[in-house]
């Protein structure tokens, strides 16, 4: 198992940190990685590292943090999907350096973060993440938050991954089953897991199964961000197994429920 697969597999959101500042080496490493945090949609996502104290940044669910990263993207179609892909790539990289974080799209004073990130009218800052060394013990508010959203559970794969038609459970080969586990355990807003995947004619088609209350002008559609995250986990899992994966946007026209939207496909 590669380090990246291991990191994605074992990741959990971190909301309690040990209070230490990041070293200048860690900061430059993160800044260098952030410069090239591409996604298959060719939409640039800018990641800004912000000192928490200097910018007066705090979140009610986070403790012991000294730094945040804010992600900024131009408002346009697929901005939210691209954001999810790139921002998750950045956070997973931070985890490989021994750091932790959590995407925060709701539980923060948004205007303070947007000001610190310096966004223009044509841009949005859907989410931020604290960055730091995880504390040995979770705060009570973190434990309660995890309990509240059932963060240690996920839907079964037969509810998420389908064979040919909507709702018919997929039985994938072992190699792909491993990668779909990385998708199943990906993080999502309020742990709603809105991704659904239909395998048909050699392609894995990704859909968003929508819940109310996740879409707004400041954040874009948070559940499209979730699907972008799921796509990152799938594509990276495949690449780490030596498979070439192309992301394309070509709706196969499979019949889907009304509250569902086609997002993108992965061709192997």
Question: Rule CB under 6 A: which residues touch ligand FMN?
Answer: 12-13, 61, 102-107, 127, 145, 149, 151, 187-191, 222, 225-226, 229
Q: How many C-beta atoms surround the C-beta of residue 217 within 10 A?
A: 7
CB of 83 to ligand FMN, least distance (A): 9
- Looking at beta carbons only, is 154 or 241 nearer to ligand FMN? 154
- Looking at beta carbons only, is 59 or 199 nearer to ligand FMN? 59
- Looking at beta carbons only, is 48 or 184 nearer to ligand FMN? 184
CB of 232 to ligand FMN, least distance (A): 11
- Looking at beta carbons only, is 5 or 127 nearer to ligand FMN? 127
Which string of b and e fits 109-131 if b means at least 16 CB within 10 Å?
A: eeeebbebbebeeeebbbbbbbb
Q: Closest residue (Cβ) to ligand FMN?
A: 187
CB of 70 to ligand FMN, least distance (A): 13
CB of 35 to ligand FMN, least distance (A): 22
CB of 223 to ligand FMN, least distance (A): 8
- Looking at beta carbons only, is 94 or 190 nearer to ligand FMN? 190
Q: Distance between CA 213 and CA 15 in Å, rounded?
A: 23
Q: Distance between CA 94 and CA 17 in Å, rounded?
A: 14
């Amino acid at each position: 198992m590669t380090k990246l697969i291991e990191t994605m597999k074992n990741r959990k959101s971190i909301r309690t940190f040990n209070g230490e500042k990041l070293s200048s080496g860690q900061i430059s490493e993160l800044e260098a990685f952030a410069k090239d945090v591409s996604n298959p949609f060719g939409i640039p996502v800018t990641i800004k590292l912000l000192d928490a104290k200097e910018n007066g940044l705090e979140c009610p669910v986070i403790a012991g943090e000294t730094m945040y990263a804010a992600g900024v993207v131009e408002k346009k179609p697929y901005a939210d999907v691209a954001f999810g892909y790139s921002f998750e790539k950045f956070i997973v990289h931070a985890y490989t350096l021994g750091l932790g974080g959590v995407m925060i799209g709701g539980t923060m004073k948004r205007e303070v973060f947007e000001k610190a990130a310096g966004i223009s009218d044509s841009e949005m800052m859907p989410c931020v993440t604290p960055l730091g060394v995880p504390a040995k013990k979770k705060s009570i508010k973190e434990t309660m938050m995890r309990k509240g959203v059932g963060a240690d559970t996920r839907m079964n794969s037969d509810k998420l991954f389908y064979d040919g038609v909507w709702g018919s459970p997929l039985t994938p080969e072992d190699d792909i089953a491993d990668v779909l586990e990385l998708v199943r355990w990906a993080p999502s807003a309020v742990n709603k897991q809105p991704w659904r995947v239909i395998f048909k004619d050699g392609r894995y088609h990704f859909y968003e199964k929508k819940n109310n209350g996740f879409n707004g002008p400041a954040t874009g559609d948070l559940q499209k961000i979730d699907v972008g995250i799921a796509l990152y986990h799938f594509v990276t899992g495949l690449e780490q197994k030596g498979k070439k994966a192309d992301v394309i946007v070509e709706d196969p026209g499979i019949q889907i429920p009304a509250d569902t939207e086609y997002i993108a496909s992965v061709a192997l």
